[in-house]
Structure 1
Amino acid sequence: MLDLHDVSQSIDATDLRILQALAQSGSLTGVSEALHISQPAITQRIKRLETKLGVPLTERFGRKIRLAPAGQILASHGAKIVAELEVALDKISALCDTRGGEFRLVGFPSASATIVPEMMRAMREIAPVVTFKYREAEPPEALELLSQGEVDCAIIFDYQSTTKLPSNVIYEQLWYEELNMVAVSSDPRIKPGRRIRISDFQQDHWIAGCPKCRGHLLTAAAEQGFAPDIVQETDNIPAMIAMVAAGGAVAMVPELALSGMRMLPEGVHTARMIPARQRSVGIAFLGTTQPSPAVKLAYALSSRVDYRRWNLQLLND
């Protein structure tokens, strides 16, 4: 038997907005563009809600997707709920603009030099009276700060959906980036425009990054049948690349970190890998029945980020 109380507790405003946008656009691409939510996240939310309700909410119609009868009912009634919520949030936002307030964000080091400054500039236009408070931490520590209520939102990265989220935290992927091999320019395996295999470097010494990055390196190497000989470890990406330039070791570095550097040290080249190694970048926040003003602000700020400048890509590109 369907537990309506349980289902009502699991439906939030984002679910209702997705159904409304789907009714208008008839495609996941249209919903993604309208709400700035990745297609995988949209699909995941719809499937989760269908499982709770026990009925399909969408159906295929040729190449398009449309709402099933249950989806139409939920979207119709949800429109009133979302409208009331928007009014309440606008009033809260106005209150913040009048009295000031704080927006507390935590992010990882590579984001500190790229994504975060763009969000800070956008804040001066969107909410100039609100104070932008920022601190830096790798994803595990950032998620702990978020779960404990010490920050409002977190910018984190995730390798192949391996991050273990606290039970009260939601992670929405916004972009993805490729990882690069970094080696001395005299290395014949690194050539402009050529993709290389990580297994080509199984006899080399390696430099590893933060624990999550180190774990991904170990996983990627294991998939190609070897264990990397890690001889140096540092969370500092510029230092890591400088160590590579000094000779004797190679490293795997995310695109965002490379883009944040004005120039690479002399004597260093980079190359993309085959198969491509990627990680997602997005926003983590506390899961509630309705988005807080801080989360709404975080999405507004992230939509102002020129992600192409940092060689990031949208998940549905």
Structure 2
Amino acid sequence: MLDSRRLRTFREVVVTGSFTAAARSLGYTQPAVTQQIRALEREAGVPLFTRNGRRMRLTEAGEILARHTQVILGTLNDAQQQLQAWTRLRAGRVRVCAFPSANATLIPEVVAALLAEHPAVRVELQEAEPPESVHRLLAGECDIALSFSYPGQRADPPSELVEIDLLEDLLVVLLPTGHPLARRRVVRLADLHQARWVAGCSRCRANFLHLCAEEGFDPDIVFTTDDNLALQSLVAAGVGVAVAPSLVLSFLNHRQVVGRAIEPNVRRRISAQVLREHLPLPAIELVLQGLRSATAVRSGC
């Protein structure tokens, strides 16, 4: 059985190229690194390094082990993170990673309801766009991931995850109040083919470009930002117009900006993901139930 501590030392020698550099990086003495590598070679039953001047060169067996070491250590780290998550969840602490517009709208409602009805449950918030939020969930860095997808972007979740559909969020166009089309209730996207545009995150931007291509034009994108408040300010200042999810309308801070429905009608799908083995835990179920309630109100259910 290969010792994980020795594998970490082995990886550091491979990365740094010498026992001395690995010792400096790990905060060990050079003899301690030498001792650990020799012990690992005894466990493996073969030499792992040969000396090439002042640097160490991997043997063929060392090359084989090096290819597997990153995966082994990564898997061990993920297991440790998920075990820690399990312990934390049993104590009623839930880490939620959500995209900005959800953190500004859905999450405050959920947290407020939990504090009122279940004060022992604590929610810790993180912010990331998908797919980064799902990657954090798989790595054990959060317990629930909120993500969204547009038509044609949806993919089946990994087998270890459960996905819960929450809401279909209608897209709107944000216009300065003085814009000629601001008086309409519904704006055709094609009618804005000559407009300057402010675009959002990479996933939103990809969907927007696809919509414009379907309508027969290539948009003039003059600015991009992941910050919803900055996007509103840019529209209010007349820099450009923007397509945004209707959740943004809940925190429109500029009187100089209006949101209007667009044609073609497009919705993004909002969902929550959780590790399958965490689904039965009471703290997880309480947060998921809060998300279902908050989104049911918005969808009119």
- Tell me the TM-score normalised to structure 2 length: 0.64
Larger radius of gyration, structure 1 or 2? 2
Rounded Cα–Cα distance in structure 2 between residues aligned with 1:288 and 1:177 = 29
Quickly say closer, same or farther: Cα 1:307–1:144, change in 2 above 3 A.
Answer: same
Q: Equivalent of 1:174, from 166, 170, 179?
A: 166
Unaligned runs of 5+ residues in structure 2 are 1-86
The answer to whether the Cα contact below 8 Å between 1:196 and 1:273 also exists between their aligned partners in 2 is yes
Amino acid at match of 1:121: A
More moved, 231-240 vs 183-192? 183-192
Q: What displacement does 1:295 show?
A: 3.5
Rounded Cα–Cα distance in structure 1 between residues aligned with 2:139 and 2:156 = 13
Alignment of 1:152 with 2:143, yes or no, is yes
The answer to whether the Cα contact below 8 Å between 1:176 and 1:313 also exists between their aligned partners in 2 is yes
Quickly say closer, same or farther: Cα 1:280–1:166, change in 2 above 3 A.
Answer: closer
Rounded Cα–Cα distance in structure 2 between residues aligned with 1:161 and 1:291 = 31
Q: Equivalent of 2:181, from 189, 192, 196?
A: 189
Residue by residue over 1:166-203, the C-alpha shift from the partner in whole angstroms, topping out at 9 and shown as x without a partner, is 523332211112111112222222224x2111111111
Output aligned runs, 1:82-121, within 5 Å.
100-121=91-112
Q: What displacement does 1:294 show?
A: 4.3
What's the C-alpha RMSD, in Å, of the aligned pairs? Answer: 2.5
Q: Which contiguous aligned blocks of 4+ residues in structure 1 show a shift greater than 6 angstroms?
A: none
Rounded Cα–Cα distance in structure 2 between residues aligned with 1:234 and 1:96 = 35
Q: What displacement does 1:96 show?
A: 8.8
Quickly say closer, same or farther: Cα 1:289–1:153, change in 2 above 3 A.
Answer: closer
* Residues paired across the two proteins, number: 214
Amino acid at match of 1:234: T
Quickly say closer, same or farther: Cα 1:118–1:289, change in 2 above 3 A.
Answer: closer
Rounded Cα–Cα distance in structure 1 between residues aligned with 2:114 and 2:239 = 44
Alignment of 1:242 with 2:233, yes or no, is yes
Residue by residue over 1:245-293, the C-alpha shift from the partner in whole angstroms, topping out at 9 and shown as x without a partner, is 11141100111012123x4x24323210122121122211123496444
Rounded Cα–Cα distance in structure 1 between residues aligned with 2:188 and 2:134 = 32
Residue by residue over 1:117-165, the C-alpha shift from the partner in whole angstroms, topping out at 9 and shown as x without a partner, is 1111122244322321111111211011011111111122221251445
SS class of match (1:196):
strand
Q: Equivalent of 1:259, from 250, 261, 264?
A: 250
Quickly say closer, same or farther: Cα 1:159–1:294, change in 2 above 3 A.
Answer: farther
The answer to whether the Cα contact below 8 Å between 1:118 and 1:304 also exists between their aligned partners in 2 is no
Residue by residue over 1:214-252, the C-alpha shift from the partner in whole angstroms, topping out at 9 and shown as x without a partner, is 011011111111121111000111111111111141100
The answer to whether the Cα contact below 8 Å between 1:107 and 1:137 also exists between their aligned partners in 2 is yes
Quickly say closer, same or farther: Cα 1:290–1:231, change in 2 above 3 A.
Answer: closer
The answer to whether the Cα contact below 8 Å between 2:198 and 2:239 also exists between their aligned partners in 1 is no
Quickly say closer, same or farther: Cα 1:266–1:154, change in 2 above 3 A.
Answer: same
Q: Which residue of 1 aligns with 2:214?
A: 223
Rounded Cα–Cα distance in structure 1 between residues aligned with 2:200 and 2:111 = 27
Q: Percent identity?
A: 33
The answer to whether the Cα contact below 8 Å between 1:206 and 1:228 also exists between their aligned partners in 2 is yes
- Tell me the TM-score normalised to structure 1 length: 0.61
Output aligned runs, 1:283-294, within 5 Å.
283-288=272-277, 291-294=280-283
Rounded Cα–Cα distance in structure 1 between residues aligned with 2:283 and 2:203 = 27
SS class of match (1:190):
helix
Q: What displacement does 1:107 show?
A: 0.7
Rounded Cα–Cα distance in structure 2 between residues aligned with 1:281 and 1:301 = 15
